[in-house]
Amino acid sequence: METTQVTIDSYSDAKELLDRHGQGQLLDFWDKLSDTERSALLSQIETLDFPSIARMQSMLGQGDAAQAAFGAGTLPAEVMTPSEQETADAINIGESSLSEGRVGVILVAGGQGSRLGFDGPKGAFPVAPITNATLFEIHCHKILRLEEKYDTQIPFYVMTSETNNKPTHDFFAENNYFGLDPERVLFFIQGMWPTLTGEGKIILDSPHHIFMSPDGHGGTITALKNSGALDDMASRGLDTLFYFQVDNPLIEIADPAFIGLHANTGADVSVKVCAKRDAGEGLGVVAARDGHNMVIEYIDLPEEEAAATLPDGSLKFLYGSVAIHVFSLGFLKQEANAELPLHVAHKKVPYCNADGETVRPGEPNAFKFEKFIFDVLPDANTVLNLAFAREEEFSPVKNATGADSPETTQRDMIRKYSRWLEACGIEVPKDDSGTPVYKIEIDPRFAGNVQDLRSKLPQDFAVTDDVLLV
Ligand code: UTP
């Protein structure tokens, strides 16, 4: 985390620092605090990243700095849809990288999961249709399967935040790291930032506590550097890092074809992209301008551009990014010192009133700032945007109900596994709407793809009830 690099161990140090930055209000309750509360507040003050706070203040009243994203000359980015032969060749290359132990995996799991409203780290959410296996278990079993299949070691870097680091750590430990070697599961903590009032003041949520929230998934690379994880990657001989988000159990972790195409292209960063469902879908689209690749967020894409079509009727800006990436280690190192743009949102944030009571406002009262991982794209010399089939690889748990909820994710898991069974020549009973009648779950350790499944299914296998293959 970027810090002020100062040690604060007294009231006078803190007062001098805060007055210099116009944040003296953080000490308003000092006289009423116990010794423990005072030292907790001083420790928080010590972590404040004043250079970033100054950038945030300069954005107040001006909107999102990244909103200038759609400028003249912005065109859809080139997207690769590989031929069967290209995919087959890439798989060989990707498999060699895996076998040679050059691939690591980065999972970002530092978010707050506020839309899902689950009490605990989102990765501990039970999602599998029959066993209720959690997101973390599913991800770990996928890595384990790759380690077994390629007789290799795949270091797993898990980003948490101050808020969920201990519960995440504990969850892995209680579950025996889901079979992974703990020596290869490395947690690193992302930075936390304060929120600001419209006047640029940092907000206390109790007399001795500053309200802080994670600095966004764009904080990943700085956190990798500051935690020593980038050096760890180099010392383990890695050169390729697969990156994904915690909430998507359909993810094809370190998919050899993706790794191979990334290598073949000589890309700094690769992006899996899928076709938007319609012009209004809230997915950031991949674009390019003046030789630089980028992702333009949904809100930044002018309506007429979002709706524009090509002569064949398809959307001009068709492809969206769902934050599945491959990075070259050299590029991560380069970006560790990059200053990513800040994105701002107006949020409801608990605050401490003049009587020292915590108030939960009904309306947005504060500005929250985040960095986004896709903002590294313009810095890359070469970017591969690779088209993939959404139904095979992406169905996130974002909301408690409705779209992108546990219900839709389980449905999509069952559909995916039913397609695998059908590809193996097994008949899957379906209702009139085409939905499988029975629940189907395949543990990633049992089979990681159709070929695996085919080699393991008993001769006389038939679907006559719920199917659990573990
Ligand atoms: P989301 O944007 O879906 O945010 O994160 P979220 O925090 O999980 O959920 P809401 O918005 O509060 O409902 C996408 C991915 O990025 C990670 C999340 O853990 C998730 O895997 N993330 C997000 C971080 O690791 N750190 C952050 O600061 C934000």
93 CA from centroid of ligand 1 (Å): 32
29: pLDDT strictly greater than 80? yes
Q: What is the pLDDT of residue 70?
A: 83
Q: What is the pLDDT of residue 299?
A: 87
Mean pLDDT of 96-105: 98
Q: What is the pLDDT of residue 285?
A: 97
Give the residue, 63 or 189, on which the prediction is more confident. 189
Mean pLDDT of 183-207: 97
The answer to whether the CB of 110 is under 6 A from ligand 1 is yes
In whole angstroms, give the CA distance from residue 359 to residue 206.
Answer: 9
Q: What is the pLDDT of residue 2?
A: 40
Q: What is the pLDDT of residue 252?
A: 98
273 CA from centroid of ligand 1 (Å): 19
Which atom of ligand 1 is closest in space to residue 110's alpha carbon?
Answer: 25
Q: What is the pLDDT of residue 8?
A: 75
440: pLDDT strictly greater than 70? yes
Q: What is the pLDDT of residue 6?
A: 60
Nearest CA residue ID for atom 14, ligand 1: 245
1: pLDDT strictly greater than 60? no
391: pLDDT strictly greater than 90? yes
Could you tell me the domains of the chain?
1-48 (no CATH), 64-398 (3.90.550.10), 399-470 (no CATH)
Q: What is the pLDDT of residue 7?
A: 73
2-6, 90-94, 151-155: least confident range: 2-6
113 CA from centroid of ligand 1 (Å): 6
The answer to whether the CB of 106 is under 6 A from ligand 1 is no
The answer to whether the CB of 222 is under 6 A from ligand 1 is no
247 CA from centroid of ligand 1 (Å): 8
The letter for the amino acid at 449 is N
The answer to whether the CB of 245 is under 6 A from ligand 1 is yes
7 CA from centroid of ligand 1 (Å): 31
- Identify the band that residue 62 occupies on the pLDDT scale cut at 50, 70 and 90: confident
Q: What is the pLDDT of residue 4?
A: 43
Segment 283-337, tens digit of pLDDT: 999 999 999 999 999 988 999 999 999 999 999 999 999 999 999 999 999 999 9
245 CA from centroid of ligand 1 (Å): 8
Q: What is the mean pLDDT of the chain?
A: 95
Q: What is the pLDDT of residue 80?
A: 98
- Identify the band that residue 441 occupies on the pLDDT scale cut at 50, 70 and 90: very high
Determine what percent of the chain is predicted with pLDDT higher than 70.
Answer: 97
246 CA from centroid of ligand 1 (Å): 8
Mean pLDDT of 30-58: 95
The answer to whether the CB of 113 is under 6 A from ligand 1 is yes
44: pLDDT strictly greater than 70? yes
319 CA from centroid of ligand 1 (Å): 21
Segment 244-293, tens digit of pLDDT: 999 999 999 999 999 999 999 999 999 999 999 999 999 999 999 999 99
3: pLDDT strictly greater than 50? no
The answer to whether the CB of 398 is under 6 A from ligand 1 is yes
18 CA from centroid of ligand 1 (Å): 30
Segment 339-387, tens digit of pLDDT: 999 999 999 999 999 999 999 999 999 999 999 999 999 999 999 999 9
Q: What is the pLDDT of residue 259?
A: 98
13 CA from centroid of ligand 1 (Å): 35
Which atom of ligand 1 is closest in space to residue 215's alpha carbon?
Answer: 28
Which atom of ligand 1 is closest in space to residue 115's alpha carbon?
Answer: 13
The answer to whether the CB of 122 is under 6 A from ligand 1 is yes
Nearest CA residue ID for atom 3, ligand 1: 398
Mean pLDDT of 222-249: 98
The answer to whether the CB of 347 is under 6 A from ligand 1 is no
Q: Of 245, 283, 398, which is best to mutate to test ligand 1, by the most ligand atoms within 8 angstroms of its C-beta?
A: 245
Nearest CA residue ID for atom 7, ligand 1: 111
The answer to whether the CB of 272 is under 6 A from ligand 1 is no
